[in-house]
Amino acid sequence: MDRAVLGIMALLGIWDGIRLLGVKTFVPEPLGPGLYLLAASSLLLLALAIESIPQLLGTARGKPVQRTPASGSLTVYRNPVLQAWLGLIFYTVLLEFVGYLLATLLFVVLSVWIFGERRLGWVAVSGGTMTLCFYLIFKKLAAIPLP
Amino acid sequence: MEIGLIQGFILALSPINLLYAFLGCLLGTLVGVLPGLGPAATMAILLPVTSYLSPTPAIIMLAGIYYGAMYGGSTTSILLNVPGEAASVPTCIDGFQMAKKGRAGEALFIAAVGSFIAGTAGILLLSFLAPVLAIFSLRFGPPEYCSLAVFSLLAIASFTGRSLMRGVVMSLVGMLLALVGLDPLSAQTRLVFGFPPLYAGLDLVPVLMGLFGIAEIFTALRHGTHQISQSKLGKMIPRGKELRKGLVASLKGTVVGLFGWLPGMMGSVAAFISYDLAKRTSREPEQYGLGSIEGVAAPEAANNSAATTGFIPLMALGVPTAPVYAILLSALLIYGLPTGPMLFEQHADIAWTIIASMYIGNAILVILNLPLIGLWAKITLVPYRILGPCVLAIVVVGGYSLRNSMFDVWVTVAFGLVGYLMRKYEWPVAPLIIGMILGPLLERNLRAALQMSDGSPTILIERPISAVLLGMTVCIIFVSRWLLRSARIIEEKAC
């Protein structure tokens, strides 16, 4: 799947590069924006193909394909990394609707739970304390703009 | 040079710069001690925060974080058999064995002293070589910069990860990501696909924060927390023959690390090479892997001298040779400071202040590390369920604060997942970052070079400096395969 994603990226680059080949620039130049993009994307596709050769040859010969061992379920319930990432997305969406303090409090409490703390009291206390510290440090002390 | 360095010391010894040097070293050591959070992640996370400081203290602090982390990484390697960062992996081999025998204090002492010697040597080389290289690079034109970019990209692709082609793929991906947005010469949009926020392109800092900050936390979450070792520190200072062996090995490691200014010769690579060299030249090679003090001293010295000499191409040529230098380059760009030879030409005071502060920071690190070893060992008790959410929340604020844009936060979050998946599927991250930084340099200079030669690419071979750089590019591929084969053998014995 990783190679497929990279391959799609290369194909999109080739498509956009071809589109730009027909565009005239103010100052004529041998290597325009389109040709450079086309070249880089084509090189990416070629490099990806070369990188995939050992695996393809192994598959063709019937040898077991060496894959990174799958770790972690794809179901959210059993995959803490997926939970944490969805929590980040939730946090980012929430920032625009409820403001920094409330969104951060909810996120930090959720994250502390995801990262393994199961004592509800500690989850609440550490979440609240961290949120307050962040607010004081960023807003009051460092005057950093908050979402 | 002498006048510049003296002026640099005067400025570096000002209270505010001293404070930020101390803060950087403290944070760096802390980051190095804590497994799961590397110097690149910390620098990326703090980069938006430092943008509110003036340039000199900001760069001093970020630099302090980096070489501080090199010092701190040895603590977890020795005490927990967990490398604080990649360059500390060889230290695990003998360091943890020494800790199991109750000699953790001696291991930590020689690591700190060796790091000080090596760091000083590296900074001395930086002081002499960087200005000379900067003057030499004034002869560089577009063909030379183009060839230099190709050399750097391939060198990094060769030395990172296990596969050259994976490194090349990631370099090209980084170059494509740098193309997103408007072409500066023709104002044409590239890889935008009608999505207006992409017209301004992808800012490097949110990408860095996602790839390093968020991704490292996710990776640590996936691997779970570590058991804390109960190793006793024992006596602190080795005596007689042991001390002599450690110091000699430190010198060997220092010499290896002094080549850290070459693209691709990152701290981790230097550490492995120096471990191998020290073992081959040791009178007791059979002791390696069983708790040899030389096996701790050599890689620790190498990674520290490589960490400081890595600043040479950054300051002299404007070319970062590892992600941490890419972050420092971003910091220079945020302040509108020129990179490369113009930094010494137009802002010599800043350049020399940074170099002088590295001498001071090196001394601060010995003071921080030697008496406080026990304290740093206790820091490893900080539970990840507190550290992880902290870092994630800080990263989100950092992503927003750069341009007050929620789009940058989304970029950070997206690249957090990308970085995690890259680590999981063993795609190297460093070439992608360097590709994003050097891609525009390569494109700009390649287009200029081809205009100079009316479209003929032979200009890259006709100019002698450019031809030499391209020749070195071919050589580096073969050299890197040979060096990494040795490193791989050592790594199989490592923690």
**In chain B, domain spans:** 2-493
Instruction: Assess A96–B contact: CB distance below 8 Å, yes or no.
Output: yes
Lowest mean pLDDT among A109-118, B379-388, B468-477: B379-388
What's the rounded mean pLDDT across residues B417-443?
Answer: 88
pLDDT at position A56 is 72
What's the rounded mean pLDDT across residues A75-81?
Answer: 69
pLDDT tens string B128-175: 988 888 888 888 889 998 998 898 888 888 877 668 889 999 999 999
Let me know if B163 is exposed, middle or buried by CB neighbors in 10 A (0-12, 13-18, 19+): middle
Is residue A95 a contact partner of residue B397, using CB atoms and an 8 Å limit? no
What's the rounded mean pLDDT across residues B325-341?
Answer: 83
Check A72 against B175: CB less than 8 A apart: no
Which of B217 and B465 is assigned the larger pLDDT?
B465
Residue B220 pLDDT exceeds 80: no
Is residue B419 a contact partner of residue A2, using CB atoms and an 8 Å limit? no
Residue from B269, B351, B349 nearest B305 by CA: B269
Interface test with B, best of A85, A136, A137, A139 (most B CBs within 10 A): A85
Q: How many CB atoms lie within 10 A of CB A26?
A: 8
Distance CA B349, CA B8 (A): 6
- Summary mean pLDDT of chain B: 84
Let me know if B400 is exposed, middle or buried by CB neighbors in 10 A (0-12, 13-18, 19+): buried
Among A33, A88, A147, beta carbon nearest to B392:
A88
**Confidence band of B288 (pLDDT split at 50, 70, 90):** confident
Look at the block and give the residue holding tokens 């923690």: B495
Residue B437 pLDDT exceeds 90: no
- Min Cα separation B358/chain A (Å): 26
Range of A110's domain?
76-141
Question: Chain-centre distance of CA B52, in angstroms?
Answer: 23
Tokens of B444: 């700009």
Residue B330 pLDDT exceeds 50: yes
pLDDT at position B85 is 67
Which of B114 and B238 is assigned the larger pLDDT?
B114
pLDDT at position B379 is 67
Is residue A47 a contact partner of residue B172, using CB atoms and an 8 Å limit? yes
What's the rounded mean pLDDT across residues B36-56?
Answer: 77
Q: For residue A21, what is the nearest residue in chain B, using CA coordinates?
A: B188
Check B389 against A112: CB less than 8 A apart: yes
Residue A105 lies in a domain: yes
Check B451 against A80: CB less than 8 A apart: no
* Same-domain pairing of A51 and A85: no
Check A143 against B427: CB less than 8 A apart: no
Instruction: Assess B425–A contact: CB distance below 8 Å, yes or no.
Output: yes
What's the rounded mean pLDDT across residues B73-86?
Answer: 75
- Summary mean pLDDT of chain A: 80
DSSP string covering B387-421: HHHHHHHHHHHHHHHTTT-HHHHHHHHHHHHHHHH
Instruction: Assess B401–A contact: CB distance below 8 Å, yes or no.
Output: yes
pLDDT at position B170 is 94
pLDDT at position B338 is 80
* Same-domain pairing of A80 and A129: yes
The C-alpha angle with vertex B39 and arms to B37 and B44, in degrees rounded to 5, equals 95
Instruction: Assess A88–B contact: CB distance below 8 Å, yes or no.
Output: yes
From chain B, the residues in CB contact with A40 under 8 A are 172, 175-176, 179, 439
Residue A146 lies in a domain: no
Residue A132 pLDDT exceeds 80: yes
Among B49, B172, B388, beta carbon nearest to A142:
B49
Distance CA B451, CA A23 (A): 18
Is residue B24 a contact partner of residue B64, using CB atoms and an 8 Å limit? yes
Residue A128 lies in a domain: yes
Residue B3 pLDDT exceeds 60: no
Instruction: Assess A49–B contact: CB distance below 8 Å, yes or no.
Output: no
Check B397 against A71: CB less than 8 A apart: no
- ipTM higher than threshold 0.90: no
* Same-domain pairing of A80 and A136: yes
Residue B381 pLDDT exceeds 70: no
Check A96 against B183: CB less than 8 A apart: no
From chain A, the residues in CB contact with B451 under 8 A are 29-30
Residue A42 pLDDT exceeds 50: yes
Is residue B238 a contact partner of residue B106, using CB atoms and an 8 Å limit? yes
* Same-domain pairing of A86 and A47: no
Q: How many CB atoms lie within 10 A of CB B286?
A: 9
- Min Cα separation A108/chain B (Å): 6
Q: How many CB atoms lie within 10 A of CB B196?
A: 8
- Min Cα separation B439/chain A (Å): 10
Dihedrals phi, psi of B288, to nearest 5 degrees: -70, 130
Distances (CA, A) of B195 to B189, B260, B436: 10, 41, 20
* Same-domain pairing of A56 and A107: no
DSSP string covering B165-224: HHHHHHHHHHHHHHHSEE-TTT--EES-TT-GGGGG---HHHHHIIIIIIHHHHHHHHH-
- Number of A–B residue contacts, CB under 8 Å: 168
Domains identified in chain A, total number? 2
Instruction: Provide the sign of the torsion angle of the four alpha carbons A12, A15, A21, A22, taken in this order.
Output: negative
Q: What is the pTM of this model?
A: 0.80
Residue from B134, B31, B126, B125 nearest B74 by CA: B31
* Same-domain pairing of A29 and A54: yes
Distance CA B164, CA B156 (A): 9
